[in-house]
Structure 1
Amino acid sequence: MRSKVSFALMGIVLATGLTACSSSDDGNQEFSSAYIQFYNGSANSALTTMRGTEKSTIRGSSSYGDSTSLIGVDGGFTEIEFFRTDSDDQEVILETRDVDIPNGQKTLVVMTGDFASPTFNEYRFTREELSDHFRLFAMSVVADQSSYDLYMSESGAPFEQANLLATVNYEGFEEMEYWAPDEVDDFNEGSYTIYLTEPGSTDVIFESNTITFQFATEYVLIIRGSSGALQSGVEVDLVLNSSTVSNYDDVDASAQYRIYNSLDNDGITVSLNGNGDTNPSVDLAANSKTDFTEVQFGDYRLTATSNSDATLNFNNRLVTLSQGASKAILIYQNENDALTSLSFNESTQPQVYDKQVVAANLVSDFTDVDLYFVRKDETIESAQYLISSIDFGESKTVTLPSDFYELVAVFDDNEDTQVLLDRTVLLGLNEEINYIITIEESLDSPTGYKISLLK
């Protein structure tokens, strides 16, 4: 059987360089190229880009919990740098280093720690031609938890029948050993459940939904902390060979929501009830919102009634709150003045350097509203960041750096005449929170419309 291989950290590479085997030592003929991939495991990071200083083919970006695609390059030593872009659109170099990328091997670069002074570690393994089997590697990027016991079971089997694969340490990297090998030592393709406990304990602190390992390739399982508006535990990422990372929350992870009443002159009574659960109703004054409310995940029934006109209401609106999700619910009036709602998931990304801002158009008079984020040295013609064509009752998202912005909402009519709906003063979008922007009707605005910034 293949022995379990442990890959030591390579932090000393900055001073000494790597001493991994060269391409001449590699007997694998199935994968003749060299491969590199970058995973962002720094919980308070910005979008980070990896690029080769001489080979332009090495380039990719990833935010927290994401990876670049697998990049094939010529084998050998290559100088690579990592950088972010600040609010002045200037590159901030985080790290420059020589990386050995041997032919036939995959080099995974993982960024961990505080983004103010991040750590970059390299892990590599020889790629293999697999058939109906997969290999599994595991590591942790949770800095405040030294290690986890990783268990795995066939789908449908309880924890009592799960198999202890390894104790996974922070910044450690190990290949897992299959507990029931057949003609080969690798894992059989199929459906499994992942469990995590504290070392030596049988109290489960994380249980995944069923995970289907359907590709004959190498999987890297990465344990990381949750982020964004709801930070309540750990999550598991599965990194393959693309920029799409499969993320799994604990099956029992909670969810949360907040509700905004966009009506100008009317309070509402609103409730969100689950199957058999009755939560207290909430009275929301005009143009106000609730704080986040944490609840069990599940499907909920949303009801809302105007405090001044009982006929202005809706019942039985479905709102689904998934594990680890944070949802915003906006109450507004549609083109027929009936009460209605719009809901969307809020970002799970860190909001330290980059802001994932959601904007919603609640103005029935205009469709395809453009929202510009104008910095002090810009106009709407030169503004780098905007959300275009937001339909009535629709929300869209933009990612922009932490900075001060004037928000300008514009509608282009059929004659290409721009109608200014509203503009704000310079506002600081620079707190570590999730922002929501709404474009609404307003009796108090000179234009009849207003931009609201919710946080």
Structure 2
Amino acid sequence: MLSSFLPTSQLVKARSGLSILSSLFLLSACGSSSDDSSDIGYIQLYNASANAPAIYMTVDEDPEEDSDDEIERTYTAVDFTDVSSRNELPTNSFFVDLGWQSEDSNDHDDLTIIYEQEIAIESDMINFLVLAGDITAPSILSYNIPIVDDEDDSTDDLFNLRVLNLHANFDNLDVYVSKSSETFNEAELLDSSAYTELTINHKLVQDDYTFYITENGGDEVLFQSEEVPFQYTSQYVLAVRENLGVDSTPFVIDVISSSSATEYQQLGSTARFRAYNAIQLTEQLASYEGEFDLFMDTADQEAIIESLAIGQFSDAIATAYGDYSFALTLPDSSEQLLKNHLVTLTENADRTVFFYASEEFVDEDGDGDVDENGDGIVDEIDVTINSLVVSNSSYQGIYQHNVNIVNLIDDEDFGSVNVYFVRSDELIETAEYKDTIAYASNESMLLLNNTYQVYVVAKVNSSDVILATQSLTLDEDSAEQYLILTNDESSATGYTMTFAAQKPQT
């Protein structure tokens, strides 16, 4: 139908596999599309497997030959929910394989191959490959999508859209669409899609839209998208997949173009956060005894988190998405440690808020001397309570895992640390996995399953100083990890590292 935003009474489904206004279809049938075929086709990979690592796609004209004029290409790896570029190839038969990097090298011969198939690249067609399901027994779906090259698309500001249902728990679903300024009452049925079915093509006017999902034939809205803009004359696939975020809606959608995939959440979906207390005891905070209460608004009368101790996470708090003004107080007290700290929780977000203290030497007269009486002790130290908001990983990989390093070590001798993940056949100097993290910031990295000796090293003048070390073992059952670095006067070195799951374990 779509009469609410394409101004005519009905849509008709043409034999050509297009859904379009009757009048526009007549123009198209009269030759607005180019009939000139080429000797070029395309291949594109979409990774929709939630526990898959980044996937490499290799196209080889003949795996048994290695001549210079033969086509053999390994494209950039594609992460979960991402898509490759629409890669151009001459019309021919090619052997295509998909693999992941299980060792240090990403050379094709070193990849672990999960799929091999000979496919035909056809003129003016996109071979759209989708990796779906569990990576241990993956489903590789292949769709041939004609290139749309209608002159009227540019003239009339149209774009082309297909729907792909990749939610395994919904054998069939309906997708409705309205202008973003309208509601479900004004929405029209775009199409129905069975599981793994790619629908026919639909032409819509370039605009901002809202998409709605119901069960097939149902009228209960299970998902209403954020505003989705379409600003270009192009071809898109709207992929419906399982929501792995915190909201109760079963769906999210990816809008896939020729080179990117953009995720859209349920409009107004719930968010979630946890708090972590990294505020160390210090004589400058004389009344602080290692615990705080947290208020989600400075004006709130009741704390949402009570007596959170040093080195502890709070329970996860589900709340409406939005901007919040966090405040901390001493337990059962009106004395504030922090107030008016902005924490933004976007739709479907899952975040951790780290609270920590930073020290600053006071130089009252601005002469650069913080020890005016020369007794070897800093005259005055100001302590400020701060917050660092970090997004928890939604990655569900089994072959590799996300480790998010949070550096809260406050030291006048260095402003950053180096973290090394050293395997049994490596030294710190030769470690493949390493990163530098500035104070009061975080860096995320993916590590293959293995056992690592983890070293935290700082550069003090010309010396490399080991601040902390600990063993880490990752396997298929491991959770995504935080590596939290803090000052710790009880430690032999004065510093400590803590590993913790990024999400509450159920």
TM beyond 0.5: yes
Q: 1:81 is aligned with what amino acid?
A: D
Amino acid corresponding to residue 264 of structure 2 in structure 1: Y
For 2:323, give the aligned amino acid. D
Residue in structure 2 matching 1:74, options 90, 100, 124: 90
- 2:326 partner letter: L
Distance 2:245 2:399 in 1: 12
Q: What is the CA-CA distance between 1:5 and the residue it aligns to?
A: 6.5
TM-score by length of 1: 0.87
Whose radius of gyration is greater, 1 or 2? 2
Q: How does 1:36-435 map to 2 (within 5 A)?
A: 36-54=43-61, 55-86=71-102, 91-129=111-149, 130-131=153-154, 132-177=157-202, 186-227=203-244, 233-242=250-259, 244-265=260-281, 266-273=290-297, 280-307=304-331, 313-336=337-360, 337-365=383-411, 366-388=414-436, 390-415=437-462, 417-428=463-474, 431-435=477-481
Change in Cα spacing, 1:453 to 1:5, as seen in structure 2 (3 Å) is farther
Give the conservation status (yes or no) of the 8 Å contact 1:220–1:240: yes
Letter in 2 for 1:249: Q
The 10-residue stretch of structure 1 (372-381 or 426-435) with the greater mean CA deviation from structure 2: 426-435
SS at match of 1:334: strand
Give SS of 1:160's match.
helix
- Supply the distance in 1 between the matched residues of 2:387 and 2:330 (Cα, whole angstroms): 13
1:424 deviates by 0.7
Give ranges in structure 1 of 5+ residues lacking alignment.
Answer: 8-25, 178-185
- Amino acid of the residue matched to residue 230 of structure 2? F
More moved, 338-347 vs 271-280: 271-280
What amino acid is aligned across from residue 400 of structure 1 in structure 2? L
Tell me if the contact between 1:61 and 1:67 (Cα under 8 Å) persists in the aligned partners.
Answer: no
Amino acid at match of 2:51: N
* C-alpha contact (below 8 Å) 1:140/1:169 kept by paired residues: yes
Paired AA for residue 314 in structure 2: T
Structure 1 residue 119, shift from structure 2 partner: 1.1
Deviation at 1:27, TM superposition (A): 7.2
Please tell me whether the aligned partners of residues 190 and 214 of structure 1 are also in contact (alpha carbons under 8 angstroms). Answer: yes
Aligned partners of 1:232, 1:418: CA distance in 2, in Å?
A: 50
Q: Deviations over 1:321-366 (max 9, x none)?
A: 1111111111111133321110121223223333222111111213
The 8 Å contact of residues 358 and 437 in structure 1, kept in 2 or not, is answered as: yes
Deviation at 1:82, TM superposition (A): 0.6
Instruction: Go from structure 1 to structure 2 and tell me whether the alpha carbon gap of 1:431 and 1:311 turns closer, same or farther (over 3 Å shift).
Output: farther
Shift of 1:240: 0.4
- How far off its partner does 1:91 sit? 2.6
Task: State the 1:292 CA deviation.
Answer: 2.2
What is the TM-score of this pair, normalised by structure 2? 0.78
8 Å Cα contact 1:254-1:323 kept in structure 2? yes
Determine the C-alpha separation between the residues in 1 that align with 2:254 and 2:299.
Answer: 30
The 8 Å contact of residues 58 and 73 in structure 1, kept in 2 or not, is answered as no
CA RMSD of aligned residues (A): 2.6
Counterpart CA distance in 2 for 1:205 and 1:100 is: 38
Contact preservation (8 Å) 1:47, 1:354: no
Does the 8 Å CA contact 2:453/2:469 hold for their aligned counterparts?
A: yes
> For residues 158 and 342 of structure 1, do their structure 2 counterparts lie closer, same or farther at Cα, with a shift above 3 Å needed?
same
The answer (yes or no) to whether the contact 1:230–1:348 under 8 Å persists in 2 is no
Contact 2:247 2:269 in 1 (8 A): no
CA contact (8 A) 2:323 2:344 kept: yes
**% identity of equivalent residues:** 24
Q: Quick check: 421-430 or 280-289, which moved more?
A: 421-430
Aligned counterparts of 1:193 and 1:47: Cα–Cα separation in 2: 30
Change (3 A) 1:30 1:420: farther
Secondary structure class of the residue paired with 2:340: strand
Q: Please give the per-residue CA displacement for 1:292-342, whole angstroms capped at 9, x wherever unaligned.
A: 222221112211234599766001111111111111111111133321110
Change (3 A) 1:231 1:158: closer
Q: CA deviation at 1:428?
A: 3.6
Q: Which runs of 5+ in 2 are unaligned?
A: 1-11, 19-32, 62-70, 282-289, 361-382, 502-506
Change (3 A) 1:372 1:312: farther
* Worse overlay, 375-384 or 157-166: 375-384
1:402 to 1:278, Cα distance in 2 relative to 1, 3 A: farther
Q: Is the 8 A contact 2:298 2:327 kept in 1?
A: no
SS at the partner of 2:304?
coil
Alpha-carbon distance between aligned partners in 1 of 2:225 and 2:101, rounded to the nearest angstrom? 35
User: In structure 2, the residue corresponding to 1:406 is in which secondary structure?
Assistant: strand
CA distance in 2, matches of 1:29, 1:429: 53
